[in-house]
Each structure stands twice: as C-alpha cells, then as structure tokens.
Amino acid sequence: MDKQVVAKPFHRILLTGAAGGLGKILREKLKDWTDILRVSDLADLGAAQEGEEVVQCDLADKAAVMDLVKDVELILHFGGISVEASFEDIMRANIQGTYNIYEAAHHHKVRRVIFASSNHTIGFYKTTDFIDATMPPRPDGIYGVSKCFGESLSRYYYDRVGIETVCVRIGSAFPAPANRRMLTTYLSYDDLVELLRCAAFTPRVGYTIVFGVSDNREKWWSNHAASHLGYEPKDSSDKFAHLFPDTGRYPDADDVGSTYQGGGFILSGPQYKP
C-alpha cells in the first residue's frame, strides 16, 4: 500500500540569516512546515539539502532581495548583524536589509513576516522593571536601535499595505544560560520553535510584539498583549539556577551591566560613555 502524502501548510518559506546561530537550528526545524525551505545568508550555506533552495544574498542589495522573495508565502527574517557594531555596518545589514525585505514582501504580495527583533530594544529598562509590549522602546545600543527601526517599519507596512508581522523580541536563545542575567532572559530552542509556530499559524496576528522567553522563575516581561498567539512556553531556566547562585547583590547599583535589562550590551556600544 502506498504511503499517504500529507500536504504541508506552506509551499515555500524563506528563512534569512540561515547561517547564524539560530538560523542553523531553524534550518532543520522548519522543514515540517513547508514543501520548500528557501534558506539565505551572506555567508556560505553549503549545498542545498533535501527540500531546500539555497540563495546567497546580501540583504542590502535591493534587486537581489527582490529575487530572493519571489514565490514565497512566509518570511522568517533572521538576517543581519546580531551584536553591537558600527552604525555603518548595522545600517547596511539591519536597516537597509530589513527595508528591502518589506519592499520585496509588498511587491510579491507576501502576507506575513516573522521579524527577529531583540530584547535589546528595551535594554535600558532596569532589572527592577516589569514591562510589556505597549511600553516605549528603550534601546541599549545601535543594534537595539536597528531592531526598533524594524519594529516601526513592520508597523508601517501593516498599517499601509496590510502585511502582518510578529516581532519576536528574542531573549537569550542558547542551549543553556551563560550567566545569571540569562536565567531571566533564557529562551530554549524548543520554546523558540513553538513561538515561531504560533506566529506562523495563528489565523490573524495583525501587528504583534511578543517577548521570546521561556517560563523562567524571574520575569521582566509580560506577554499579555500577545496572548492571541497562544504561546505557552514549556521550558524554564530553573534547572540551570545552581550554576549561578544568588549572592544577594543582583542587581548591583554600581554595576551598569547588572542594573539594566540589556546587560553587557549597555557597555559594548561604540557610543557608550561612562
């Protein structure tokens, strides 16, 4: 008896930034959603695997991005620089690149984008603050500013032409927390994939900002404004808490990196002055 072929929800999905840390994880995880996963990066992605199309692309090249987005139904935009860098570099990769993605999405009538934003859009809130997506951005560096630009740009393209976007303010998505701050910002890979699944398959998302974080004991962020996504994290940083015992000195008023939610990014920006 022939094996029944089950239709996948999408025919073609685009993943930008596929050579990055999270892009490598998602390159494997997204294939259950789509017949063809088009993966793209400026860096070498190697040969196309089964069910893939590989396109090396500079996101700052508008014509190349126009070709990249052709025949795509959903974009997961993870491309760009993910650390603090010079304005000139971030301008090209994160600002020009994100604008090109949305222009191409509009041109090719892509109806939904999932934008990899960052917790560094709100890094200058203090660790004693509890915030939600309705509160004003407070970026902690030029990288954070570029993600604020992406969030505002996606709002504009929703209001102007109806492209839906879920902006995922990713916390710390790693196999395990690397420091005590990450006990609060930790996002497991499984929870990341589940959050992206909610962002992709919720019937109507409009314009949504959601914090990408697991169900950690200590919380800085509320996702009540994104409750329509139905995201329920299953993992927690609690199992790693023994690695970073509470000294009773956190946050330390004399330590800028532990006073603000952005952590070390507060100190790493080229514009920073003590």
**Hey, which residues are catalytic here?**
143
Distance CA 56, CA 96 (A): 17
From the CB of residue 47, how many other CB atoms can be counted at a distance below 10 Å?
A: 6
CB-based contact 14:200 (threshold 8 Å): no
C-alpha of 26 from chain center: 11
Distance CA 100, CA 82 (A): 18
Residue spans of alpha helices (H) in 123-187:
142-161, 182-185
- Give the phi and the psi of residue 241 in degrees, each rounded to 5: -60, -30
Distance CA 102, CA 87 (A): 21
From the CB of residue 216, how many other CB atoms can be counted at a distance below 10 Å?
A: 25
Two tokens at 146?
């570029």
